[in-house]
Structure 1
Amino acid sequence: MSSSSSNHSSSSKPNPSSKKTLPLRDIPGGYGLPFFGPIKDRRDYYYNQGTDEFFKSRMQKYNSTVFRTNVPPGPFMAKNPKVVAVLDAVSFPILFDNSKVEKKNVLDGTFMPSTDFTGGYRVCAFLDTREPSHAAVKGFFSSQLAKLHNKFIPTFRSSVSELFANLEGELDKEGKANFNHHSDKISFDFIFRLFCDNKNPDETGVGSSGPKSFDKWLFLMLHPLITLGLKFVPTFVEDFLLHSFPLPFLFVKSDYQKLHDTFDKYGSGILDESEKYGITRDEACHNLVFLAGFSAYGGTKVLFPALIKWVGAAGEDLHRQLAHEIRTVVKEEGGVTVSALNKMSLTKSVVYEALRIEPPVPFQYGKAREDVVISSHDSSFLIEKGEMIFGYQPFATKDPKVFDNPEEFVGDRFLGDGERLLKYVYWSNGRETDNPTVDDKQCPGKDLVVLLSKLLLVEFFLRYDTFSVEAATILLGPLVTVKSLTKAD
C-alpha cells in the first residue's frame, strides 16, 4: 500500500474501448448441483477462499473474466443465486446500460430485504428506470441536493471538527484511536444537519443513538451479504444464522420508527415539497430515511475509513505533498471554498484513487432485458434475456489491462494524462466522467461524495503533517486504528 510519483499516469495502455471484432465464446463456468452447488459456492466465497480469491480462482480456471457462478446468499434467501459475473473494465459497464439491463429489486443482488425496512415502500434504489415513480423520486431528491449545495462545506466543516478533537483525546488516553467510531458519529451529524435544517441531532428524539440505530437497521437488511469473522463461532453456525433466513424487522422496528419520526419532523423543509413531484409525504420520508441512512451514512461508513486507510498507509512523502498543496491553495484562496477544492489536483487524484482501489459499494447487479452480446478484452459472450449479471467492481477498477500496478495505491494516478482513466472509475454506478440523470441509476450524490472526501483530507492536512494507521477488515469495509497524529507547526 504505497504511493509513488512515477509515470503510472502517463504510460500507454491498450484502449479497451476500441472497436474490434471479437470471437463469440460460450460463457464458461456453471452452477453445480441444485441446492448443493450454491451452498458450496457460498462456503468458498465466505470461508474457504474469501471474496477476491473466489473470483480470482474462477477467472484462472476458466481463463475468462466473464463466467457463470452462484453468488450469496444462495438457497432459501435467494430464489435464484445464478449469475453471469463480469470482472473486467470492458464488460462491467453493461450494468450501466439501462436499455439492456433491468434494475428492479436488484440493489442487493439475488435477494431483496423486506419492504418492512422501508416503511412498506420500494424506495428509489429498488426501482427500475422504466418505472414511472423512479424519475419522480430521483428527480425530487436531486433537486433538493442542488438546493443544499451552499451548505455542504460549512456544515461538514462544523461536524468534522469534533472528529479530530475526539481522535486526539483517545490517542492521548489509549495510545491509539478507533477512527470508524468517531467517523460514524460525525457522518451522522453532518447528514442529519444537512437534511434537517442544521438541527443538532442531540436536541432531537434521535440524539446520540442515531448512528447505532442506522447500524442495526443496515445489519438486519444486509446480513445475508456479510460475514462477522468471529473466531469463537464455528463457520457453519454463522453461515446458518446469517445466510439461511431473513432476520425480522421486529428487532429494529422501534429504532426505525424513531428515525422516521425525527426526519419527518425536522426534515420538513425537504418533505413539504414532495407533492410537487407527485410523491406523497410519507413515501418521500421513507425515501429520505433510506437516502440518509443507507446511501449517505452507509456509504461514508465505508468510504471515510477506506480513504484514511489508504492515505495513511501511503506514507510521509504523499502526506507532505498533500499538506503543501492544501495549505498553499487555502492560503491563496482565503479559505476552504469550492474554488479552492477545485484547484487541489493532487487531492482530487488521491480521492479518485481511493474510490478506484476500494469502492464503497463493490457489487452491481442487473437483469438482462433481452438477449445481449457483451465483450471482455478478448471475447464476446451472449447473455440471454432474464439472466442476472453480476459485477464485482474492485476487479473491474483494478483491471491490469487498463491500470498500471492496479493493486498499488498511486496518489498521483489521475494527474495530467492520467485523467483520461477516470472513465474507468465506476464507484457511483456509472463512469466518473458521467453525470447522473433521472433516467439512470447513477448515484445522485456522486459529486457530493467526492466533495466530502476532499474536504476530509483538507481538514486532516490543515491540522496534521502526517499520521499513521493500522487497518483490518470488518463486515463490508475496513476498521481503521489511528496510531499517531503529528500536528502541523
Structure 2
Amino acid sequence: MASSSLAFSALPLHFPSSKLLPPSKPVKFEPTLHPIKASVSEKLSIAPPVPPYLPAATVVLTEPKKLPIRKIPGDYELPLIGPWKDRQDYFYNQGKDEFFRSRIKKFHSTIFRTNMPPGPPISFNSKIIVLLDGKSFPVLFDTDKVEKKDLFTGTFMPSTELTGGYRVLSYLDPSEPSHAKLKKIMFFLLSSRRDQVIPEFQNCYTEMFENLEGELATKGKASFGQANDQAAFNFLARSLYGCKPG
C-alpha cells in the first residue's frame, strides 16, 4: 500500500459584527507545504520493453488435397430425340437460365454433358461439355487440352462457300500452320489502321442513319437489319483496308 500526507496552515476566520473594530495588523499568510511522501509495500514487476518490430510469421504451405478424378456427369440421350428435347427445354419449356440451373441441381456439378441448340438438322453435332464456374473455365484457353477447330460459334460452322472456299481465322485451331500467319496479318492491320477506326465508324453509321431517315421520310418505313449489315461491311472495309466497297 502507498500512503501520503499533505499539511497546510489554517486560515483565519472572520464573522460579521455590528461593532466596528479597530483595524488590526494585516496577517501575512505563509502556507507551509510539506512534500508528498509515498511508500510502496510491494515490488512492481516491470515488463521488458516491446521491440519495435515483430518477428516475421512462419507460413507453412500445405499441399493441395488430391481429389479423385470424377467422370463428367450427364448424357446426350438418344440421337435426334435428345437434341430435340434439349432444344425445346432451352428455348421454350425452361428458358436459358433454368436450363442450366436445373442440370446443375440434377448432376450436382457445374460441369456436365448436354446437347446445345440448334442441333440437327441445322448442326450435325450438338454434343458439348458445359463449364459453369470460374475455376474450370480457364481450361478453354489451354490449346493442349481443347481443340478449337471449326468451333468458333459453338457446334455450328457456316459453309466455306460464304468465304470463297477458305476457312477463316476464327475457325482455325492454333495448331494449324495458317493460324499464326493470319493472326499476324490481323494484328498488323489493327496496328497500322488504328487511327482510322473511330472516324470511319462515325462516318459509316452516320450515313446509315441518314439513309434510314430519308427512307422514312419518303416511304414511311425502312429496314434496319439490311442497312446495319451494309454499314458493318462498309466500316470493316474502310477502317482496315482504306477502300469503300462498290
Q: Which bin holds the TM-score, normalised by the shorter protein?
A: 0.5 to 0.7
Which runs of structure 2 are paired with 1:432-471 in the superposition (5 Å)?
A: none
What SS is found at the alignment partner of 1:101? coil
* Higher strand proportion (structure 1 or 2): 1
Q: What amino acid does structure 1 have at the position aligned with 2:193?
A: L
Q: What amino acid does structure 1 have at the position aligned with 2:105?
A: Q
Structure 2 match to 1:91: 136
Structure 2 match to 1:156: 201
Distance 2:95 2:126 in 1: 18
Structure 2 match to 1:32: 77
| 1:85 Cα offset (Å) | 0.6
| 1:32 Cα offset (Å) | 1.7
Distance 1:42 1:122 in 2: 28
Given candidates 38, 46, 56, the residue that maps to 2:101 is: 56
**CA RMSD, aligned part only?**
3.4
TM-score normalized by structure 1?
Answer: 0.33
| 1:135 Cα offset (Å) | 0.7
* Pairing 1:112–2:157 present: yes
Distance 1:167 1:161 in 2: 10
Structure with more contact order per residue of length (Cα contacts < 8 Å, sep ≥ 6): 1
Gaps of 5+ in 1: 1-18, 205-489
Distance 1:21 1:180 in 2: 54
Q: Deviations over 1:350-383 (max 9, x none)?
A: xxxxxxxxxxxxxxxxxxxxxxxxxxxxxxxxxx
* Higher helix proportion (structure 1 or 2): 1
- Retained in 1: the 8 A contact 2:86–2:116? yes
* Structure 2 CA distance for partners of 1:181 and 1:60, relative to 1, 3 Å: farther
| 1:183 Cα offset (Å) | 4.3
* Structure 2 CA distance for partners of 1:78 and 1:61, relative to 1, 3 Å: same
Q: What amino acid does structure 2 have at the position aligned with 1:82?
A: K
| 1:47 Cα offset (Å) | 3.2
What SS is found at the alignment partner of 2:239? helix
Gaps of 5+ in 2: 1-62
| 1:113 Cα offset (Å) | 3.1
What SS is found at the alignment partner of 1:105? coil
Q: How many residues align?
A: 183
- Retained in 1: the 8 A contact 2:190–2:240? no
Q: Deviations over 1:369-412 (max 9, x none)?
A: xxxxxxxxxxxxxxxxxxxxxxxxxxxxxxxxxxxxxxxxxxxx
Distance 1:72 1:122 in 2: 22
Distance 2:165 2:226 in 1: 31
Q: Which has the larger radius of gyration?
A: 2
Q: What amino acid does structure 2 have at the position aligned with 1:148?
A: R
What SS is found at the alignment partner of 1:72? coil
Structure 2 match to 1:240: none
* Structure 2 CA distance for partners of 1:119 and 1:171, relative to 1, 3 Å: closer
* Structure 2 CA distance for partners of 1:155 and 1:101, relative to 1, 3 Å: same
- Retained in 1: the 8 A contact 2:189–2:240? no
Distance 2:100 2:201 in 1: 38
Given candidates 167, 172, 183, the residue that maps to 1:138 is: 183
| 1:92 Cα offset (Å) | 1.8
* Structure 2 CA distance for partners of 1:91 and 1:153, relative to 1, 3 Å: same
Q: What amino acid does structure 2 have at the position aligned with 1:125?
A: S
TM-score normalized by structure 2?
Answer: 0.60
